[in-house]
Structure 1
Amino acid sequence: MTEMKSAASTTGESVEDFAARARTWLADNMPRIDPESPPEPDRGEVGPWLRARKLQKTLYAGGFAGICFPREYGGLGLPIAYQKAFDNESINYELPTILNTPTFTICAATILDTGTEEQKRQHISAVLRGDEVLVQLLSEPSGGSDLAGVITRADRTDKGWVINGAKTWSTSAFAADYGLLLARTDWNVPKHEGLTMFLVPMDSAGITMRRIKQINGSIEFCEEFFDNVELGDDAVMGQVNQGWAVASQQTYHERRAVGGGSEFASGLGAEGTSDRPVDFVALLAATGTADSERVCEMAGRALVHRVVQQQLVDHIYQAVLDGSLPAAAGSIIRITHAETQQLELDTALAITGSAGVVDGGGDLIHHGERYLSRQAIALGGGTTEIARNIIAERVLGFPREFAADRGVPFNQVKRTKS
């Protein structure tokens, strides 16, 4: 393996020179893939995560890990143009893309913004080395879209904190080393004011984890039960009872990641089978509809939306960066991503017809299988309805939506018993 860690951190290197160096290094060190038949990692299995850790270690040793993360935490501290250049050069190579979400783009990004100096140095460096995988522990069985309404509790003790409660729909939690867990630490104040974020070791005593089997057969998501899980004060992220600020930053990064607008993602490949863009040219050929004007128009419409989404991601990223749009504008690409992906899946199934729902021995049934989970695209990073509210209130300046529990101590809020 070529050792180029120090070279990758060289200051003053142009984007073009960086891309050329990456091209040479990739050819010498990373496994090539067939662009026509790329690997399709199943995020619900252990093997792909072990493989991803190994590949990440190779990237780190070569000096191409964490291109946009600060150098003091193990990254290169370079602008997003360098990451894009690397992505373009690496498109025909196998990369650990399943580590992008939620480890790099959400959890590590949140630690970078809100963690202590010790937490940044420990965990960001560890994920860039391939030593740690991080997970979000936010949603709860009785929580719905009301993230601030969590009832998992953290009670202070002489030694630190004790966690009790449950989380659900945790993406790839079975593969994670640490989780960012939002818990209630004060029940006597309004719901947003009594929360604290914790960094929880996933192998802690008292954590029971179960897989959730989805309609498409995937077992990627998990639910976790916390029974007297003990944590020290060093597990607190941000300030005690100010966890909503951390959670808000976390969901900001999640919406950008889901929309494809995070500078901390590495590689252009899909993170799994369900993330792969529809190849409409191949689909029309396989269904014998390439000469149909109507079908070509359907496919063309979906492809136009895809291109517009890609351009919108760049526009929103730059606008937030230069301050012409607030950070909440990340919800725009979260919505348009969901709409674009759903249009592609709907179009693909319409073209495949019965071959997408009845297994005839070919590959077309894959489009029907993907359709089963199409609605999940509108849920990741918060529901589309929540995202529209954020845009209305925080980007357009509309009046806030009425909330009956605003300003009411959480222990006085009426809620459904879990």
Structure 2
Amino acid sequence: MSTQQVDVRAAESDPAESVDSFRARARAWIQENLERADPAAHIGVLRDEGADEDELAHVEHERTLQRKLFDAGFAGLCIPPEYGGQGLTTAHQRALNDEMTGYEYPARLQSPTFAPCVGVLMDFGTEEQKLEHIPAILRGEEIWMQFLSEPSGGSDVAAALTTAVRDGDEWVLNGSKIWTTGAWWSDWALCLARTNWDVPKHRGLTVFMLPLKAPGIEVHRIEMLSGSREFCQEYLTDVRVPDTDRVGQVDDGWKVGTRWMFHERMASNSPYTTLPGGGSRGGSRVTELFEVARDAGRLDDPISRDLLGEAKMLDVVKAALGERIGHGIASRSISDQSASIARLMSGLAATRMTSIGYEFTQASGAAWDSADGAVVERGTDYLMQQVSCIAGGTTEMARNAISERVLGMPREHTHDVGLAFRDVPKNRSAT
């Protein structure tokens, strides 16, 4: 059993405060201390965030919100008290999520800082690493990213070419990572690197913690079709990392990586994340779609009302499925690989929601102006919709995991089984 499962189940067996009492206390504090959320915040699909100064101001505000939650005893509900958490249960976290509906919250800190990064540290971090970093995360002092994808690797993160070479009590890292959300304003990262080229690709990996302001790390921002510059590519040149910042055993990084991807797939259902019901990141989009239909003049259209009903159905099913899978994994009644089911559902539902929004727009989906209200940018969202099936691990990878690791179907055939990674062709010319 993993550390996470032990911690969560132990807390659930001996809660320090009843869920009803906690809910009432949380409701009173939220109403007194938090502002109502901006209903226009984070709508659409990876839209232009605006001026960098505004984005940095939002990040600092969310750090402040996280600190307020920490000081009030509402941060890290399922994290043990020795690491700054509250040692409560997933039911307490769900109650907090419910009560925060409609209020501001530190959205940028939830993923990937709390899931997957906190989950990985809880599962594999040393006692010293947990004591140093988890309280700082809970206070909003550290925002973490994940260095997984590489320009050459696509979804095959085990094919990492970023290298880590031992040099005494340090490691020297060289390579590049890509598609890192918000790396330009973050503090730390978990990085998967190649430490052994003479074994099959899954056996020669190791995970490290990196401070993003370390010498040798360059962060370049990527401009998307929508104008968003949220994603980044990082270049690592002779980055020196002490061995004390290694997470897990040398060459055993795939064991860490497997749990890492589990926590990533469970992000919106993780016991570590605070995501309000109806929140724009991970929550309901039905209200948003209703506003698009209204501003497009389609509310009385029976086809549009059917589409809104479909969106509501997807919303309800996704929430129920996520809760069932989260409970099943925590109670060990289902495999933790079932997190891929929630990942697949969230990707497909988000893509369909975006398509529904575009179906309301008619000609305004191709050309709009500021007077079009919620219809604005729906055409761009439609072009960006597949992001939901790529970010956080592709839905194709989720289907593979479900078929092979949940349903027990035969594994997909590969040509590099048992082959040392240095001998695996890396591109057409190498072949």
Asked if these proteins are the same fold (TM beyond 0.5), I'd say: yes
Q: Which amino acid aligns with 2:160?
A: V
Indicate how the Cα distance of structure 1 residues 126 and 273 shifts in structure 2: closer, same or farther if over 3 A, else same.
Answer: closer
Q: Could you give the per-residue CA deviations for residues 162-202 of structure 1, whole angstroms, max 9, x where no partner exists?
A: 00111111111112111100100011111111100000111
Indicate how the Cα distance of structure 1 residues 216 and 133 shifts in structure 2: closer, same or farther if over 3 A, else same.
Answer: same
Q: Classify the secondary structure of the residue corresponding to 1:59.
A: helix
- The TM-score normalised by the length of structure 1 is 0.92
| Partner in structure 2 of residue 286 of structure 1 | 295
Structure 1 residue 278: deviation in Å?
4.2
Unpaired segments ≥5 residues, structure 1: 1-9
Partner Cα separation in structure 2 for residue 32 and residue 391 of structure 1:
39
Q: 2:397 aligns with which of 386, 405, 414?
A: 386
Structure 1 residue 286: deviation in Å?
1.8
| Partner in structure 2 of residue 225 of structure 1 | 235
Q: 1:338 aligns with which of 347, 353, 371?
A: 347
Q: Classify the secondary structure of the residue corresponding to 1:358.
A: coil
Structure 1 residue 315: deviation in Å?
1.1
Partner Cα separation in structure 2 for residue 87 and residue 95 of structure 1:
10
Q: Could you give the per-residue CA deviations for residues 136-165 of structure 1, whole angstroms, max 9, x where no partner exists?
A: 001111111111100100001124110011
Q: Could you give the per-residue CA deviations for residues 78-119 of structure 1, whole angstroms, max 9, x where no partner exists?
A: 111111111222223211122100001211111111111111
| Partner in structure 2 of residue 21 of structure 1 | 25
Q: Classify the secondary structure of the residue corresponding to 2:408.
A: coil
Partner Cα separation in structure 2 for residue 328 and residue 39 of structure 1:
30
Unpaired segments ≥5 residues, structure 2: 1-13
| Partner in structure 2 of residue 158 of structure 1 | 168
Indicate how the Cα distance of structure 1 residues 39 and 247 shifts in structure 2: closer, same or farther if over 3 A, else same.
Answer: closer
| Partner in structure 1 of residue 275 of structure 2 | 267
| Partner in structure 1 of residue 410 of structure 2 | 399
Q: For the Cα contact (< 8 Å) 1:97–1:267, is it kept in 2?
A: yes
1:254 aligns with 2:258: no
RMSD of aligned Cα (Å): 2.1
1:145 aligns with 2:149: no
Partner Cα separation in structure 2 for residue 112 and residue 103 of structure 1:
12
Q: Classify the secondary structure of the residue corresponding to 1:404.
A: coil
Q: 1:56 aligns with which of 66, 69, 75?
A: 66
Partner Cα separation in structure 1 for residue 420 and residue 317 of structure 2:
45
Q: 1:411 aligns with which of 399, 412, 422?
A: 422
| Partner in structure 2 of residue 323 of structure 1 | 332
| Partner in structure 2 of residue 4 of structure 1 | none
Q: Classify the secondary structure of the residue corresponding to 1:167.
A: strand
| Partner in structure 2 of residue 65 of structure 1 | 75
Structure 1 residue 308: deviation in Å?
0.7
1:133 aligns with 2:143: yes
Partner Cα separation in structure 2 for residue 360 and residue 269 of structure 1:
31
Partner Cα separation in structure 1 for residue 320 and residue 15 of structure 2:
29
Indicate how the Cα distance of structure 1 residues 79 and 406 shifts in structure 2: closer, same or farther if over 3 A, else same.
Answer: same
Q: Classify the secondary structure of the residue corresponding to 2:354.
A: helix
Structure 1 residue 366: deviation in Å?
3.0
Indicate how the Cα distance of structure 1 residues 221 and 53 shifts in structure 2: closer, same or farther if over 3 A, else same.
Answer: same
Partner Cα separation in structure 2 for residue 402 and residue 126 of structure 1:
44
| Partner in structure 2 of residue 47 of structure 1 | 57
Partner Cα separation in structure 2 for residue 381 and residue 108 of structure 1:
16
Q: Could you give the per-residue CA deviations for residues 309-361 of structure 1, whole angstroms, max 9, x where no partner exists?
A: 11111111122222221000000010011111111111110111221221132
Seq. identity, %: 39
State how many pairs are aligned.
406
| Partner in structure 2 of residue 306 of structure 1 | 315
Partner Cα separation in structure 2 for residue 309 and residue 31 of structure 1:
28
Q: Classify the secondary structure of the residue corresponding to 2:377.
A: helix
Q: For the Cα contact (< 8 Å) 1:211–1:221, is it kept in 2?
A: yes
Structure 1 residue 11: deviation in Å?
5.7
Indicate how the Cα distance of structure 1 residues 243 and 271 shifts in structure 2: closer, same or farther if over 3 A, else same.
Answer: farther
Partner Cα separation in structure 2 for residue 407 and residue 342 of structure 1:
38
- The TM-score normalised by the length of structure 2 is 0.89
Q: Which amino acid aligns with 1:100?
A: Q
Q: For the Cα contact (< 8 Å) 2:265–2:343, is it kept in 1?
A: yes
Q: For the Cα contact (< 8 Å) 2:198–2:421, is it kept in 1?
A: yes
1:374 aligns with 2:385: yes
Structure 1 residue 211: deviation in Å?
0.3
